[in-house]
Every structure is written in C-alpha cells, then in structure tokens.
Structure 1
Amino acid sequence: MSLNRLYLSCFVCLGGLLSLAALRAESLGAPEASAGAPGEEDCSACHGSNAGSGKVTLELEGGATSYTPGQKTRVKVTIDDSAARRWGFQATARPQANARTSAGAFATADAQTRILRSGVLEWITHTNAGTRRGTAGPVIFEFDWTAPSSDVGTVAFYVAANAANNDGSSSGDRIYKATVNLSAGAGGGARPAFTSQGVTNLNGVPGLAPNGWAVITGTDLASVERSASPVFGRALDTTLGGVQVKVNDVAAVLQSVSPARITFLVPPATPAGDVNVVVERDGSAGPPVVVRSSATLPAIYAVPRPDSDQQFASVISASTNLGLFFIGQRGWVLGKPDVDARASRGVAPGEEIVFYASGLGAVNGNPPAGNSFNESFPLATAPKVRFGQVTVDPVSAALVGPGLYAVRVKVPDSTGEGDVSFAIEAGGLSSSDKVFLNIQNP
C-alpha cells in the first residue's frame, strides 16, 4: 500500500484536512510518537494491525547488550516480511526509569532515515527514499546512536515497523514491534535520585523559571555538604563537592549541595516547556528528570516555620541601605521574631519595605550570566504585591544579583495586625500561598 495514502487516512481520522504539500511531507517518515514507547502510538494507529509472519529486530553493533556513556555505536533495524514491497519504521530510545525523555541522541548514516524532535523527545524514522518501493525484504535501516553522557540506568529502545504491500489499497500492511533493553556499563556508587515534584522554587512550588533559584530534594545528591563562596567579578561555581546540575545539558550555578538538597540557579536561556534536569555526582549521574519550565515562577525569600508548612518573609526597612543577605545580627531585619532570630519586630502598616524574590522574569538590560554583579536591572513588566486581599503596585522591582530581585513596596495603611498572607504576582503566576508577613502596630 502507498505510504502517502496511509498517512492521509491517519490524518483524516484526526479530522485534519490535508493539502497535497502536507501529504507529500508525510512521506518523509512516520509522525512523531509512533515507535510504540509507553504512552505513545505505533504504526498501527495509521496502518491498522494486520497480523503477519514477519518481524522487526533492532541490534547494536557487535550484538552489544549494554552501553558505554558517551560512546557512539551503529544501530541496525531489520524488517522481514515475504509479502511486503515497501517499508517504514520509527525508533526511539528512553531511560527505562522515565519514558518521558530521550536517552542519548540519534544521527543519520545515510539518506534513508531522518530525525524527529519534540521538546526533550527524539525519534528516528524512514525517508521517502528509505521506503524502497517495490523492494522485497528483508530490508535494513542503519543509523548511529550516541549513548547518554552518563549512566542513566537501563535504556529501552522501542521500534515499530510497517511492512506495506505497496498495492495502493488500505489493506494488507503488517505492523511489527520490538523492545530492546540495554543495561548500563559498569559504574560505581549510588546514583543521585529525585522526582519532578522534588524540583521546586524557593517556596516549594514545583517547576523552574529562567534565572530563578531552585531547589532539588532527593537522595544521594552529594557525598558531602558544600556552599559556594562567590568572589565579585569571577564566574560563579557550577561544581561544588563534585556535584553538577545540568538543565538541558547546560551546567547551572550552584549555591549549596548536600546529600538530600541542592540549591541552584536555573540557566537564563532555559526554554519554556519540559526540560531535562540531571544531577551528576562524582562522575555518576542519575537519570534525567523532566521538569516543567515557565517564563516566571515567583518566590519570596522566606524562612520556614519549624514543624509547619508556613513560611515567613524576612524583609528590611526601605530606610536602610543594607541588603538582607548581608545582615547577620538582630535589629535590622523585620519579620517573625520566633521564626527568624535576626528579626527584631514585625512590619508596621504604612511602612515602606524591601523584600527579596526570585523567578520574576525578564528584565531590561543585559545582566551578566554566570557572574556576580552590583548593578540593578528593572523588571520588563512590573509585578503586583498582595497583602492579604489587598493588591498594590511596588515602588520599584529590579534584578540586583544573580537570580535575586529586590522589590520595594509600601505596606497598605489598612493592613491589620497579625500574620497576613504575602505574595507577589508576575507573568500571570503568583507565589506560594504558604508565605506570610508578620504585621505589628508600632
């Protein structure tokens, strides 16, 4: 059966209307997500599921059953069916522990295959030339695969093949599938482990934002505890205690690492959508974890209340020229005294304060990436600050350090005494509703 006509029937099932140009484009290979990986389709979605006596096999060069991190190897997909006279396939490689991301990278070896990508996922499929119309089987597709740069555990190859009879009808095609598991090569020690819900902003909200501070909570993240000691004008650390965090293969600036927790700065060029986060420790990497990134993910610098999910903002009076993170003694910080020992009192209604935040989004100007700096860069779009049910505009809001925004705002005169919910809104998202500000009448 003609592959072009088969793809047409698939799109008609989806209710799409195809132009001739779109129809021809589909002959370049199977649609994305047609290799039979978990949660995805296979060729039968478009070509039916007729039984046949043939098969598809996927084999690594030399019959290898394991991979060496970073090593490139040739892969062969063989399709055999005595009745077939036109051929197609799609394959993908995924960490067995997380099928929502790809493992390694494909490369074409000739004009018979092409690569498809969508976010963090990758497939390899046939081209029009690769269908070899009128050719009897078996046929072989060859391509290269470079294993992940570090041990991600077992890698599963999923492949689906179409053995078409090329008779121009909608019947007679036969679909075959196979899964091949590759074990990781020898490696040492426990590997870092965490989940997507364990990657949060400073207030514990899952997700990432470019140039925002984030926290990973997990196990075996580091073998030691280390904190960065930044030097003005020098590049910030991307390795601490033998640990690196990579977001879509870009090394992130690290603030601190420990066996159970890492604080890092999301690379500024991180795109919106699903991204891969990998922790490498002493040369051993955990599997990539897919985390959702958005343009903003606001968080307020706050101190957790022991044995509670509440957090209390610690701020400074706008009348002081000191920065909160350089204040180590009691008397200058305003907040919740029984939560932050530096706080001398709560904030008064009508008082003008400065608080610090992260994940507020784009700024005007070009702050240096990966370095400390002492300039300020105003936010491109002003945020909103909420005290209880009252929302106000800040006096100013600017990036004043890597991933750190200073927001100056006047507390509404009508704010009642006690602990009030305290939030900042940027890019259509609000910071956590677990953050509070202690209000105290003078």
Structure 2
Amino acid sequence: MKKNYSFYSVLTAIPIALLILVSFSSGQPGNFTGSPGDGGTTCTQCHVASSANFGGSAALTGLPNGYMANQSYSLNLDVQGSTSTKIGFNITAELADGTKIGSWTPGTGTRLRTDSNGLTHNSTSTGSGQNSWNMTWTAPATDLGAVTFYYVTNQTNNNGSTSGDQVTTGQSGALLTNGDETFSAFEMYPTQVT
C-alpha cells in the first residue's frame, strides 16, 4: 500500500488556511495601528503590499482643536479615491508614552477592538465596499494631556489571500486639551514702573 503524504497534507492544510483567511473577516482584533502602544505593528504583519496600488488615501476628520473632559467627538475615517472593493481599518488614541486614552463608541460598520482600546471594521462594512466610517471618541474624565490618534487602512484586492494589498497608516497631530491650549496662548509682557 502506497502512502500519499502530499494528499493528506493538502487535506489538512485546507481547513487551516480557511480558518486563517476568514479569521479577521468580522474585523481584525486590534493592536495594528502602528502606534507606540500597539508596538508599532500594522496590517503589514499579515498583508503583503504589492506594486498594485489602489490609489486611495486615508483621512481622519472631525478632530477638535482641543478636547474637553468627558466630551464626545464625532470622527470620520475616510478612504478616498480607492478602487478597492474591500477595505478595513483600525484606530486608537494614545498619550505620548503609548497609554491608551478615552473610550470609543462604534458606528455603522465598526466594532470595538478586542482590547476595547479602539475600533475596527466588521464584516458587513468590508464586504460592501464601505470606505468611510463614522465613530465617536469620548475624552477621559480628567485632563491627561495631549492625545494622538493613530489609524491604519487596508485596501485589499479581494483575492482570498493576504498578498497584493495596500496598507496606509496615519496619525493626527497631538491635540492639546483646552486648558493646555489656553496656557500656551497666554502671553506675558513686562510692566514698566515709573
């Protein structure tokens, strides 16, 4: 009896490959924004970029000039000009030392990351070719200092593998709290006494 190891290897590999390929179809678990708190990791840990460029650029809008304690802000992450029909994202907010800050409320097509320290896409948004996500970030209860938003988008070629995709990373400028903003705008002038 001749043993066919390659046949059995293929039979074993198929379910494992399918599990890996669909594991993030409902949204990847998190820690992929490229931020210091996420260890600098992005979607390129799994998705391999190719020379095929979907031409899309990502932008985060709705950021305030300065945040107020416990105030909620409506943000929008938008991928513009992309020809990809399947796009995902991940976003988080951090202090300069990588500490996560604030809380997130998912919008349509989004869900909390598994660590609850940011948002990611869900399966209904990536399957529909959605390229814009609304979300809410709520500032912390106390003034913790400047916050930076880190995000990543992944425009895929929908070939069922992790190759040929385009990963775009970005971050907002650090936001100053209103207290810091007021202090930095304060000017001091010498007073002449006669």
TM-score w.r.t. length of structure 1: 0.34
Q: Do residues 105 (structure 1) and 103 (structure 2) align?
A: yes
Structure 1 pair 44–22 and aligned structure 2 pair: CA distance change class (3 A): closer
Q: Percent identity?
A: 28
In structure 2, the CA distance between the partners of 1:158 and 1:105, relative to structure 1 (3 Å rule), is: same
Structure 1 or 2, whichever has the larger Rg, is: 1
1:153-198 residue CA offsets vs partner (Å, 9 max, x unmatched):
1101100000112233543311101101222112589xxxxxxxxx
Q: Is the 8 A contact 1:69 1:185 kept in 2?
A: no
Structure 1 residues 159, 73: CA separation in 2 closer, same or farther (over 3 Å shift)? same
Given that 2:95 and 2:147 are in contact with CA atoms closer than 8 Å, whether structure 1 keeps it comes out as: yes
- Among 128, 141, 144, the residue aligned to 1:152: 144
CA separation of 1:174 and 1:20: change in aligned 2, threshold 3 A = closer
Richer in strand (by share): 1
CA distance in 2, matches of 1:106, 1:155: 14
Task: Give the SS at the match of 1:88.
Answer: strand
Asked whether 1:128 is paired with 2:123, we answer: yes
Q: CA deviation at 1:19?
A: 8.0
Cα distance per residue 1:254-301 (max 9 Å; x no partner): xxxxxxxxxxxxxxxxxxxxxxxxxxxxxxxxxxxxxxxxxxxxxxxx
Q: CA deviation at 1:66?
A: 2.0
Distance 1:19 1:132, change over 3 A: closer
8 Å contact kept, 1:91–1:157 = yes
- Map of 1:377-392 to 2, 5 A cutoff? none
Residue identity in the other structure for 1:184: T
Cα shift readout 1:19-41 (whole Å, capped 9, x = no counterpart): 86675442111232111112231
Match of residue 82 from structure 1: 82
Deviation sequence 1:303-330 (CA, Å, 0-9, x none): xxxxxxxxxxxxxxxxxxxxxxxxxxxx
Amino acid at match of 1:54: G
Pairing partner for 2:176 from 183, 189, 192: 183
The count of aligned residue pairs is 163
Report Cα offsets for 1:88-142 as digits up to 9, x if no partner.
Answer: 000011112x20x2100001122x1110243xx6121000001034x3x7x2111
| More helix per residue | 2
| Aligned-partner SS, 1:186 | helix
On the 8 A contact 1:115/1:123 being kept in 2, the answer is yes
Does the residue aligned with 1:44 lie in a helix, a strand or coil?
helix
| C-alpha distance in 1 between matches for 2:19 and 2:46 | 19
1:315 is matched with none
Does 2:109 align with 1:116?
Answer: no
1-side partners of 2:136 and 2:167: how far apart? 24
2:27 aligned partner: 29
Question: Which whole-Å deviations, capped at 9, do the CAs of 1:380-399 have from their partners, x for residues lacking one?
Answer: xxxxxxxxxxxxxxxxxxxx
